[in-house]
Amino acid sequence: MSSNHAGNRRAVVVAPRAFHRFARHWKGKFSAPVLGRKTAKSWLRTSDLAQPTDLDALLVPGFWAESPEHVQSVVGANDRLVAMLARLPKTTLVWSYCTGVCLLAAAGKLNRQPATVTWWLMDTMRKQHRSVAWASEQTCVMNKRTGTASGLNGYLPIAQALIEGQVSPEVFRDLSKLMVLPRPERTHQAFQSLHLIEQSDAMLRSLHALVQRLPANDISVKRIAAQLRMSDPTLSRKVLALTGCGVGEYARKIKLDQVSERLIMTSAPASTISAELGFSSDSGMRRMFKDLTALTPSQYRQMFGRS
């Protein structure tokens, strides 16, 4: 379900069919077909769900916003959408990520449940929705009927949790290699094998998700070790064995990989990306990025960005 500022986002409505676990439908707010990069997709008006009793599950994606105030403006402008979400039956599974979580909170779908949201919205959401048990230390929270995740790619840990609940870890690792995901078609070799969904070790996945959530300036070996409930030496030893580099270096690569993805997939200025990811200074981020890739953010976008 798309907001006024999210014309390039899509919601997924899934409904079981006989002999199949799910049938997939792409939906949105406009009734006319919209040509995508490769296919035309059908879109759904909010009014079409005035009585959405036939839905088994609904994924509400995030929308573009530049500040907590911007988010509140978008939520307020979409009161019909919020009302529709509020009317969903309790039997309907509802998931959301990034700023989309704010729509679920406004609709009361997260009341008296643990939930998470993108880090820069956490303080605002805690103040505005006190009945929600906000879990700032988690990047993905899955409940019986709801699921929330932080970050631009929050749909990935939601998908991971849903799939892992159905298959063994071995099968999931095989599936993750085959899943068709909207990742950048090309990326620098420094960032290959850094995606969360590709990490085979549970501890490394937890570390990866934690670093993605934390502002870059707040990351330290001590804080990561404390969050993962292990000593600094144990964490350092495990990360070195699994990745071949120290905790600080690995965490820095994860944050710079986030910079890389946003340079490729968005048109946001590098300074905005730096601020959003919590780097202490734009110049510092640019220096670290060039040290790792031998490219400035501008050169990187020209080389790998979507045309």
pLDDT at 270 over 50: yes
Mean per-residue pLDDT for 293-305? 89
- Provide the CA 35 distance to its chain's centre, in angstroms: 24
Write the pLDDT tens digit of every residue in 189-215.
777 666 654 566 788 888 988 998 899
Percent of the chain with pLDDT over 90: 41
* Model pLDDT, residue 157: 82
Write the pLDDT tens digit of every residue in 144-175.
999 999 877 788 888 888 888 888 877 776 77
Burial of 214 (0-12, 13-18, 19+ CB in 10 A): buried
The whole model's pTM is what? 0.51
Write the pLDDT tens digit of every residue in 74-132.
999 999 899 989 999 888 999 999 999 999 999 999 999 999 998 778 889 999 999 99
* Model pLDDT, residue 16: 32
pLDDT at 269 over 50: yes
Separation of alpha carbons 103 and 60, rounded Å: 8
* Model pLDDT, residue 176: 64
Write the pLDDT tens digit of every residue in 252-262.
999 999 999 88
Separation of alpha carbons 101 and 96, rounded Å: 5
Q: How far is CA 114 from CA 145, 215, 262, in A?
A: 11, 22, 28
Closest CA to 239 of 250, 224, 229, 228: 250
Write the pLDDT tens digit of every residue in 220-251.
999 999 999 999 999 999 999 888 889 999 99
Name the residue with tokens 């008006």. Answer: 45
Q: Which domains does the chain have, with CATH numbers?
A: 11-164 (3.40.50.880), 183-304 (1.10.10.60)
C-alpha torsion sign, points 18, 51, 82, 43: positive
Residue 37 or 285, more confident? 285
> Which range among 6-20, 44-58, 271-285 has the greatest average pLDDT?
271-285
Closest CA to 254 of 192, 303, 185: 192
Q: What average pLDDT is seen over the chain?
A: 79
Angle at 141 between CA 98 and CA 20, to 5 degrees: 90
* Model pLDDT, residue 168: 80
Separation of alpha carbons 232 and 131, rounded Å: 35
Band the pLDDT of 46: cuts 50, 70, 90: low
* Model pLDDT, residue 192: 65
Write the pLDDT tens digit of every residue in 134-146.
987 677 899 999 9
